[in-house]
Structure formats: C-alpha cells, structure tokens
Amino acid sequence: MLSPATRTLAPAGVFLGELFRQPWLLLVVIFGPFLILLVFVVGARVYRDFPTTIIVQPAGHGETAGQPGPAELSNYLRVVEVTSSREGALARLQRGEVQLVLELPAEPQAALARGEQAQIRLYTNEIDPLTRSFFTLYVESQIAELNRQAVAQAAAQAQGQAAQVQSDLDRLQRALEGIDAQQVATLRQRVTEAQRLLAQIESGLGQANDTAAQLGMALNDAAVQQARVRQLREELARIDAQLALVPSAEELLRLRQAVAQLRPLLTRLQGTSPDVLSAPFAGTVIDTAPYLPAGTSYFLPGILALVLQHLAVTLAAVSIARDRRLGILDLYRLAPAAPAEILLGKYLGLAVMVALIAAGVTALALVVLGLPVLGGVPWLVAVLSAFLLTALALGFVVGLTARSEETAIQVAMLLLIASVAFGGILAPLDQLTLPLRVLAFGLPVTSGKVLLEAVMFRGYLFDWVTPAVLAALLVGLLVLSFRLFARQLAQRG
C-alpha cells in the first residue's frame, strides 16, 4: 500500500519531470517575462511632451497691444508656427502634423475695455480622452501663465508710477505741515470782524446819502465809497469761503496720519518684484513616500503580478483540461489515492514550477532594474506565495469547469483581459465604480499588485483589507477547486 506522501508526490513528479527534461523551457518562461519588463522600462515613457501648436494671429493685426506672442505662449506649449491663416492651420491639424491650434483674439484690449475676457480659441483633433485632458491642462496652465504675466506687467507699470506718487505725497506732506489751523481760525475771525465793520460803514454811508437827498444835496462821493465798501465785503466773503476749505486741526491730524501710512505702502510696492505681486502664492509638492519610483518603474509590480497570474492560471487550467482530454482523469479514478491527495500533488508540482519562474523573474527585476524591497525579502516571498497559490487555484477552477482544452485557454485569455482592464493596470482602482471595484478584487492580480507595491515601494500597508481579501479569495478558490475535482473524479464515463 502506497503511503499518503507517495500518492501526493506522484502527480507533482509528473510536472517536475517534464520541467527537468526540458530545462530550456524554464529559461524561456523566466527570461520571457523579464524581457517584457525590461523592454517596457526602456521603451515606455509616462511623461507627456508639450503639444505641438500653431498660433493663429488675426490678419492685419500682428502682435497688437496686449496680444501675447510666441515667447509668452511657450511655457507649456511647443510653438512650431505663427500664422494668420486659420484655414491653413486647421488643415495641418486635420492631417495630424500638429496637435493644437490656438487662435488669438483680434482686439484683446477692446474686450477688456468692455469688461469682458479676451477669448483664446483652442482646436484639437484628438480622440483619446486622456490625451485631451492633458491638452486641456496644458492650455489652462498656459492661460494662467498669460494672466500672471499680464498682472506682472500691470504691477511693473504701477511701480513706475509709484515714484511720481511718492513725490506728490512728499509735497502734500510738506503742504500739510505748513498749515497752521490756529492761524487760519484767527484769520477767519479777523475777516468776519472786517465784514461786520464794512457792513456798518456801508449802512452809515447809505443813511448819509439818504439824508442828503432829503435836503436836496448831492453826495456823489458817498455813493462811490458805498460801492467800494460793498466790493470789499464781497472780496472778504470769497476769502472767508476759501479759508473755510482749510481743514480743521482734527482733519489735519487725520490727513497727516493717512499720508504717513501711505508712505511705507509705496516703499513696499516699489521694492517688491512684479512676479511676486502677480503671484503671491507658490506651491511646493513634498512627497513623504519612502521611495519614489522613476518613470515606468512604478508599473513594474503590476505588470509582474499580471504576467505571473496569467502563467499560473494558464498552466493550471490547461493541465486539468489536458488530463481530461488524454483520459488521465480516468486513471486517477482507478488510482489508490484520494482526490484530495491527487489534486494536492498537482498543486505541489505546479507551485514549484511557478515559484521557480517567479523567483527568477523577480530576482532579475530586482538586480537588473534596481527595484527596492522596502518591506524585506521575507514579506516579498510571503506575498508572492499567497498570490501565486491563489492564481493556481483560480486556474484549477477554470480547468475543472471548462469542457475542453481550447475553452480553458480562451477563459485564461479573458481573465488576462479583465485583469488588464480592472486590475489597476490601466486605471487606478479608486476611479472604478463600486461594482467594478468588487469585480476587480475578485481577480488575484488586483490584490497582488497592491501588496507588491506596498512591499517593494512603501514597506508598509495602509490597512489590512487587501491581505484579508486575498486570503478569503485563496481559501474560497482552494475549497472550490478540491470540491470540483472530487466531483469530477466521482463522475463515470
């Protein structure tokens, strides 16, 4: 009677025997995925170049006042041509020779005078929504830079005028200091007294003239003097009105304080850079992550998880489907071993094979591509082991439910496509809707990608939800695969 260990290791020996009979196959499956990672790192870029742009200036206007030129539009755009032909620029856009066409407004100053914004029109011929969003970001950044430059120019002009204002302010201060409110008040009292005396003189002259007229006498000189007195009163009234405009002592104090407050403001305005006045706030991004992967290195854990999952799922699914096609399952029914022992042996054999492949690919990625393992090698081994075992269990479930070897391969390919679409490779997981996110975590690659990133690039986990999901998925797929295999062997014919 064979021992349980022998009955378990016998199926594993089949896989290992095939592996060692074709050692070159192991090298192919190790170096093949690594070459994919290497080519991706060397050839792919995650950074966007500034879009090639044609600037369309209004015909007959050129660079009018307030009209930005190529130099002002080259902060976030790559200007390749400046033209006045809108049709010609759009024709080049339709032929794909450029990525953007910017049409400048004809009269920007006139629009500003009306209290309106000067509209810059943007034309693009891009169908990729992600690229369009990048173009929009670049153009918005460029327009924001134009606005900042316009404010800086206005601030520079204001600084040029501030010197004249400073000079006027000095003269005003000297004038205010030369005013004596008490003397003005005394003068107004004297003017008022003089007006009162002149009024009495004018009244006396009028009475004398009336008396002379009653006596039949003519006092022509009295009438002339009365007219002169009246003229003096009018002049004194005007002088009094002008003196009334002179501020009081309290008003003079307030004016002097206001002038004293304006002086440091003008000094600060003249001493501050126009760029600071136009953009008083500046942002600085400080990344506290323990490691910052450069360029495409960030995507390597996800691609590694994707390749290893597809390899494990395909090997497990095809092995079961091939056993069914070759009639090996009928031999298993006659074997003196329990279904659990047979399937455990198959798990063991494939696990060793996939572990060797994963170890080779991961070691090459760490050494050649210089990837870190901040969480430590033991945690990396634990994550890869749990992830690969989950992928093998998924592959066995696929092989046990598929009716043919071709169907198993097709399902493995569908799982690969789903993993690329929903596993966080193309889009971050937080951008998926809740149903899609649940579906994504039903694939081992999703948890594997998150855990590999945490072990390699962070050294810690934000929470234990992802490991719990992977553990639940592993247990569920293991139980399901063993039950399906036992049911498969229990069927006859």
Q: For 128-148, write each residue's pLDDT tens digit.
A: 776 777 777 777 777 777 777
pLDDT tens-digit readout, 263-310: 666 666 566 666 665 666 666 566 778 888 877 788 889 989 999 999
CB 289 within 8 A of CB 457: yes
CB 419 within 8 A of CB 425: yes
The pLDDT of residue 480: 95
In degrees, rounded to 5, the angle at the alpha carbon of residue 192 between the alpha carbons of residues 186 and 194 is 105
Higher pLDDT, 424 or 44: 424
Domain ends where: 271, 287, 321?
271
Q: Is the pLDDT of residue 170 over 80?
A: no
Determine, yes or no, domain membership for 147.
Answer: yes
pLDDT class of 387 with cuts at 50, 70, 90: very high
Q: Is the pLDDT of residue 66 over 60?
A: no
Q: Is the pLDDT of residue 476 over 90?
A: yes
* Residues 267 and 339 reside in one and the same domain: no
Ramachandran sector of residue 100 (left: φ over 0; alpha: ψ -120 to 50; beta: rest): beta
pLDDT tens-digit readout, 408-443: 889 889 998 888 888 888 777 887 888 888 888 999
User: What is the overall mean pLDDT for the chain?
Assistant: 77
Token reading at 461? 């986990």
Question: How many domains does the chain fold into?
Answer: 3
Determine, yes or no, domain membership for 346.
Answer: yes
* Residues 133 and 174 reside in one and the same domain: no
Distance between CA atoms of 356 and 242, rounded to whole angstroms?
A: 104
* Residues 264 and 331 reside in one and the same domain: no
* Residues 109 and 200 reside in one and the same domain: no
**Top-ranked range on mean pLDDT: pick from 131-140, 168-177, 361-370, 446-455:** 446-455
* Residues 119 and 243 reside in one and the same domain: no
Determine, yes or no, domain membership for 38.
Answer: yes
Measured N-to-C along each axis, helices 405-422 and 444-453 cross at an angle, to the nearest 10 degrees, of 40
How many CB atoms sit inside 10 A of residue 150's CB?
17
Partnered with residue 417 across adjacent β-strands are none
Ramachandran sector of residue 370 (left: φ over 0; alpha: ψ -120 to 50; beta: rest): left
Distance between CA atoms of 376 and 358, rounded to whole angstroms?
A: 17
The pLDDT of residue 246: 63
Distance between CA atoms of 245 and 401, rounded to whole angstroms?
A: 103
Determine, yes or no, domain membership for 9.
Answer: yes
Higher pLDDT, 204 or 367: 367
Q: 66 in helix, strand or coil?
A: coil
Number of helical (H) and strand (E) elements in the chain, helices listed first? 17, 4
Measured in residues, the chain has a length of 493
Rounded mean pLDDT of 335-356? 85
pTM attached to this predicted model:
0.68
Domain ends where: 218, 251, 271?
271
Determine, yes or no, domain membership for 356.
Answer: yes
* Residues 212 and 312 reside in one and the same domain: no
CB 394 within 8 A of CB 444: yes
CATH of the domain at 80: 3.40.1710.10
* Residues 145 and 233 reside in one and the same domain: no
Q: Is the pLDDT of residue 452 over 80?
A: yes
Determine, yes or no, domain membership for 163.
Answer: no
* Residues 460 and 318 reside in one and the same domain: yes
pLDDT class of 13 with cuts at 50, 70, 90: low
Q: Is 108 exposed, middle or buried (0-12, 13-18, 19+ CB in 10 A)?
A: buried
- DSSP string spanning 394-416? HHHHHHHH-SSHHHHHHHHHHHH
* Residues 357 and 247 reside in one and the same domain: no
Q: Is the pLDDT of residue 111 over 80?
A: no
* Residues 332 and 480 reside in one and the same domain: yes
pLDDT class of 357 with cuts at 50, 70, 90: confident
* Residues 177 and 311 reside in one and the same domain: no
Radius of gyration over every alpha carbon of the chain, rounded to an integer in angstroms: 46
CB 469 within 8 A of CB 312: no
User: Residue 74's domain spans which residues?
Assistant: 52-158
Higher pLDDT, 254 or 338: 338
The pLDDT of residue 309: 93
- DSSP string spanning 134-155? HHHHHHHHHHHHHHHHHHHHHH
CB 81 within 8 A of CB 44: no
Domain ends where: 158, 187, 220?
158
Q: Is the pLDDT of residue 94 over 70?
A: yes
Determine, yes or no, domain membership for 410.
Answer: yes
Distance between CA atoms of 206 and 227, rounded to whole angstroms?
A: 10
Determine, yes or no, domain membership for 280.
Answer: no
* Residues 28 and 65 reside in one and the same domain: no
How many CB atoms sit inside 10 A of residue 63's CB?
13
Helix (H) or strand (E) holding 210: helix 181-214
